[in-house]
Amino acid sequence: MIDARDAKIISELQADGRLTNQLLAERVGMSASACWRRVKSLEASGIIRGYAALVDRRKAGFSISAIVHVLLARHESMDVEPFEERIKRQPEVLECFATSGEADYHLHVVASDIDAYHRFLNSVMFKMQGIAHVRSHIVLKEIKAEVALPLGG
């Protein structure tokens, strides 16, 4: 669990991961050395997993975004493990969640255009053993796409 000070640090870093330690310390009301130690502790514990640039997918050339629901034929390790390993290797798949409900997995997939998405389906999804059903939902408009956790810091 994180305390209020760590929540403030994380909230500031989620808003701007390029903050200098000095500016971060000022924003959270700590000395620079104490702030640096807290950040290093958050990194060492795995609470902060890393830092990344947020990229506009359309401006980067990915006009298609799809939510893909996948239903497996069986839930045995001989089907589940190869599916999960293959999905982990697919750069088009930004996120993959094992879920309850009508689908076993929900994937967030991006592609440069509809033809590229069709190639992904044909060369990856439809060639995998053990998949009973694939349902695509093309994203028409992104209403909210946040990555920051609501820590309230």
Residues 131 and 49: their CA atoms lie apart, in Å, by: 32
- What pLDDT does residue 153 have? 53
List every span in the chain annotated with CATH 1.10.10.10.
Answer: 4-44
Total length of the chain: 153
- What pLDDT does residue 9 have? 97
List every span in the chain annotated with CATH 3.30.70.920.
Answer: 64-138
pLDDT in tens, 53-106: 999 999 999 999 999 999 999 988 888 999 999 999 999 999 999 999 999 999
Average pLDDT over residues 25-48: 98
Average pLDDT over residues 127-153: 93
With contact defined as beta carbons under 8 Å apart, do 59 and 45 qualify?
no
Neighbours of 72 (CB within 10 A): 19
pTM assigned to the model: 0.89
Residues 121 and 101: their CA atoms lie apart, in Å, by: 22
Q: Which fold has domain 64-138?
A: Alpha-Beta Plaits (3.30.70)
Q: How confident is the model at residue 24 (pLDDT cuts 50, 70, 90)?
A: very high
Looking at 1.10.3720.10, 1.10.10.10, 3.40.50.970, 3.40.50.720, the CATH number of the domain 4-44 comes to: 1.10.10.10
Strand 64-72, strand 105-111: pairing: antiparallel
